[in-house]
Structure 1
Amino acid sequence: METKLVIGGVEVENPVFFAPLAGVSIAAVRRLFRRLGAALTHTEMISSAGLLYAGTKTWRMTECTDGERPLVLQLFTGDADSLCRSAERCLQSRSYAAFSINMACPMPKVHKKGAGSRLLQDPDVAFAMVRELKKFGLPVWPKIRKIVPDGREYRLDTLQFAEGLLAAGADNVTIHGRTPQQRYEGKADKSEVVRAARRFEGRITASGDVYAPRDVAFYLDNGCAAVLCARGAIADPFMVVQSLRVLGYNTRMSDGEPSLEERAEILIGFADDLYRLHGERVALVLLRRFLAGFFRGKAGTAEFKRTLASAKDWDSAYRILCDWRSYFERGFM
């Protein structure tokens, strides 16, 4: 299947996207998931205040390297003014496929700033953010969570809030099926996401409990325009490849189960990107985090992971990585 899609005003190869994940969705990781076939990636959520008042570290989070476009820039803040000023600053030297506004993060340090899921309690502010950000000419994709009205803090339900965002000019709304109170615990309410997708045809991206190709297919079969892969893709990066095959899309890998050689080749390329783009500390942390997922279910993975965890520096870690064959049984080759 080669037909291009237009989702939320952005032309993409398929409806499988990589999500904005704090501390994870950095350039090397985005490049990895583009190589595996994800049609689009997001930056991690970036503070508008940090872009306006902080230093180089926050600014570097907005960079886009070759091999990761189309890229969506996700910003978080509690007001339309700082949102627009930070977006304008980014556009002076960067280009993106779309803007995402984080209205979903439930963490207290974000919530207390009036940002993230706190905006679900302030629909007027949230809708104003969309209207103002649209003035820059890029598609706007707010991300929200399931909302259960209580007559006090939460006045609108999920569909009412999504409708308000779309009426304000949002091109696509991503809905995560957990409430702010759940944070990242319990199950995502997929039926709530599907309800919105059926109501607002072609304008809803699904998020929540995407751990296998069947989860991707479920959302798409029930009306969602696209699906965000997040924690499930970290646990098994090749889930993206498998999902695309189930959906009938061509992939950039050989048919069937990826061989150990293919997995190792992609992992080493990922490691090279991590070190080159982000330095030793970040490279070691994320390489250890992703390693088990690359060889999920393969005999020898646990020993490989333990040995890599013992590496004290990048040179040692890279030698262990390049010696991957010694950790696996010949029968899996």
Structure 2
Amino acid sequence: MTRPVSPISIGGLSLDVPVVLAPMAGITNTAFRRLCREYGAGLYVSEMITSRALVERTPESMRLITHHESETPRSIQLYGVDPKTVADAVTLLVAEDRADHIDLNFGCPVPKVTRKGGGAALPWKTELFRGIVEGAVRAAGDIPLTVKMRKGIDADHLTYLEAGRIAEGAGAAAVALHARTASEFYSGQADWSAIRALKETVTSIPVLGNGDIWSADDALRMLAETGADGVVVGRGCLGRPWLFGDLAGAFTGEPRKAEPTLGEVADAFRRHAELLVEFFDSEIRGCRDIRKHVAWYFKGYPVGGELRARLATVESLAELDELLGTLDRSTPYPGEGAEGPRGRAGTPKTPALPEGWLASRELAGGDRTTLVDAELDTSGG
């Protein structure tokens, strides 16, 4: 597939390159979003923000919703379980002109979230899901509001087609599907046939596909196989911000593939660290945060274990520069060794759910009590 991919409109937003950076906890902060923008185009979504924390204006939530002046459009993802709280959070973002796009997370598979009825467990409660989306859409007004979800809780409790219809009917501007269930976590292979089924079901708004996009070729193949209008990229860009350049080229009909030398990878890693220091307004915090990216950036490259270990304990930019200076910058791209899956996949498991959650699609009294504690600062999807 070499022909250009058509731009898409998400409400009033026009995306020439229909690519979305998936929200990832502790990853898609301003620093990483800015870095990715330097390589390509698309919609770059914030880390997930808990609606209750935002309404309460906690310092951390207010910091996380702050965008750099270079970021446009500004995109924020919210997580919540109570229609009023989510609507209040959306109202705050709109009234204070803090976002150009808002996404709702119904895809988190983390046990401590689903155990309380949140994330990927929530669409099972049909009217609660409808109430949250409808209230958020009303509060958003002219700001496009989208929904990200999973196939369902497990193979016996799928929710995505009904949830897609509800979101469409509620006025959502687009829906995105991570083509796995909560029970699958990130394991195995994403079921792209589910994205195709959702696209056949939801016909009036864009449908975006998420899952197992490790290269631009994967993205083009997903669109060809599913008919999706665009893609959502998560773990595939970890340590590879240049993937967005590959995607932009493929989608505009000018295919290219970044094959960075070790020196170019080191430069990107250093730039990421610099942006993290600016984001945290602290050299030590920024350097500590870049540590978790070491394995992703240098995957496949001949960087010894001792140097990797030292990079994973770096505490200053000067120390980082000294370590990076020992690399052979001319080392070529290692090919397949630097490609493919990255990030923790986990293993299939029985989803953690509130007691009796699957007994009914309606909320019971006990469910409401459980949901009070569901808003945790945990992301995923």
Q: Does the alignment pair 1:111 with 2:114?
A: yes
Residues 162-311 of structure 1: pairs in structure 2 closer than 5 A: 162-201=164-203, 203-221=206-224, 222-248=226-252, 257-278=259-280, 279-300=282-303, 304-311=307-314
Residues 70-81 of structure 1: pairs in structure 2 closer than 5 A: 70-81=73-84
Contact kept in structure 1, 2:40 and 2:242, CA below 8 Å: no
Which residue number in structure 1 is paired with residue 327 of structure 2? 327
Note closer, same or farther for the CA distance 1:25–1:150 as it changes in structure 2 (3 Å cut). closer
The residue matched to 2:47 in structure 1 has which SS? Answer: coil
Provide the C-alpha distance between the structure 1 equivalents of 2:193 and 2:307, rounded to a whole number of angstroms: 40
Provide the C-alpha distance between the structure 1 equivalents of 2:5 and 2:306, rounded to a whole number of angstroms: 40
List per-residue Cα deviations over 1:227-253 (Å, max 9, x = no partner): 1111111043333222333333569xx
Provide the C-alpha distance between the structure 2 equivalents of 1:290 and 1:38, rounded to a whole number of angstroms: 22
The residue matched to 1:45 in structure 2 has which SS? Answer: strand
The Cα shift of 1:95 comes to 2.7
Note closer, same or farther for the CA distance 1:124–1:267 as it changes in structure 2 (3 Å cut). same
Q: Does the alignment pair 1:122 with 2:125?
A: yes
Q: Does the alignment pair 1:37 with 2:40?
A: yes
Provide the C-alpha distance between the structure 1 equivalents of 2:92 and 2:329, rounded to a whole number of angstroms: 52
- Segment drifting more, 258-267 vs 50-59: 258-267
The residue matched to 1:332 in structure 2 has which SS? Answer: coil
Provide the C-alpha distance between the structure 1 equivalents of 2:258 and 2:56, rounded to a whole number of angstroms: 50
The one-letter code sitting in structure 1 at the alignment partner of 2:328 is: F
The Cα shift of 1:80 comes to 0.9
Provide the C-alpha distance between the structure 2 equivalents of 1:255 and 1:236, rounded to a whole number of angstroms: 12
1:147 to 145, 152, 168: 152
Note closer, same or farther for the CA distance 1:171–1:330 as it changes in structure 2 (3 Å cut). closer
The residue matched to 2:20 in structure 1 has which SS? Answer: strand
List per-residue Cα deviations over 1:257-302 (Å, max 9, x = no partner): 3344544443332221100111345423442233344444333375
The residue matched to 1:78 in structure 2 has which SS? Answer: coil
The one-letter code sitting in structure 2 at the alignment partner of 1:242 is: D
Provide the C-alpha distance between the structure 2 equivalents of 1:331 and 1:290, rounded to a whole number of angstroms: 20
Note closer, same or farther for the CA distance 1:149–1:238 as it changes in structure 2 (3 Å cut). closer
List per-residue Cα deviations over 1:143-175 (Å, max 9, x = no partner): 111137888xx4x64222211110111110111
Note closer, same or farther for the CA distance 1:216–1:8 as it changes in structure 2 (3 Å cut). farther
The one-letter code sitting in structure 1 at the alignment partner of 2:186 is: Y
Contact kept in structure 1, 2:274 and 2:317, CA below 8 Å: no
Tell me the number of residue pairs that the alignment of Structure 1 and Structure 2 aligns: 325
The one-letter code sitting in structure 1 at the alignment partner of 2:182 is: P
- Where relative contact order (Cα < 8 A, 6+ residues apart) is larger, the structure is 2
The one-letter code sitting in structure 2 at the alignment partner of 1:234 is: L
- TM-score, structure 2 normalization: 0.76
Provide the C-alpha distance between the structure 1 equivalents of 2:327 and 2:31, rounded to a whole number of angstroms: 25
The Cα shift of 1:225 comes to 1.4
Note closer, same or farther for the CA distance 1:317–1:10 as it changes in structure 2 (3 Å cut). farther
Note closer, same or farther for the CA distance 1:331–1:141 as it changes in structure 2 (3 Å cut). closer
Note closer, same or farther for the CA distance 1:281–1:13 as it changes in structure 2 (3 Å cut). farther
- Segment drifting more, 116-125 vs 168-177: 116-125
Contact kept in structure 2, 1:75 and 1:102, CA below 8 Å: yes
2:10 to 3, 7, 12: 7
Note closer, same or farther for the CA distance 1:330–1:106 as it changes in structure 2 (3 Å cut). closer
Which residue number in structure 2 is paired with residue 49 of structure 1? 52
Provide the C-alpha distance between the structure 2 equivalents of 1:7 and 1:52, rounded to a whole number of angstroms: 26
**RMSD of equivalent CA atoms:** 2.8
Note closer, same or farther for the CA distance 1:203–1:4 as it changes in structure 2 (3 Å cut). closer
Provide the C-alpha distance between the structure 2 equivalents of 1:227 and 1:199, rounded to a whole number of angstroms: 18
The answer for unaligned runs of 5 or more in structure 2 is 334-381
What is the percent sequence identity of the aligned residues?
26
Contact kept in structure 1, 2:161 and 2:198, CA below 8 Å: yes
Contact kept in structure 2, 1:145 and 1:176, CA below 8 Å: yes
Provide the C-alpha distance between the structure 2 equivalents of 1:238 and 1:301, rounded to a whole number of angstroms: 23
Provide the C-alpha distance between the structure 1 equivalents of 2:284 and 2:329, rounded to a whole number of angstroms: 31
Contact kept in structure 2, 1:134 and 1:169, CA below 8 Å: yes
Q: Does the alignment pair 1:134 with 2:131?
A: no
Note closer, same or farther for the CA distance 1:302–1:6 as it changes in structure 2 (3 Å cut). farther
- Segment drifting more, 83-92 vs 256-265: 256-265
Q: Tell me which protein shows more helix as a share of its residues.
A: 1
Contact kept in structure 2, 1:149 and 1:157, CA below 8 Å: no
Provide the C-alpha distance between the structure 1 equivalents of 2:258 and 2:64, rounded to a whole number of angstroms: 36
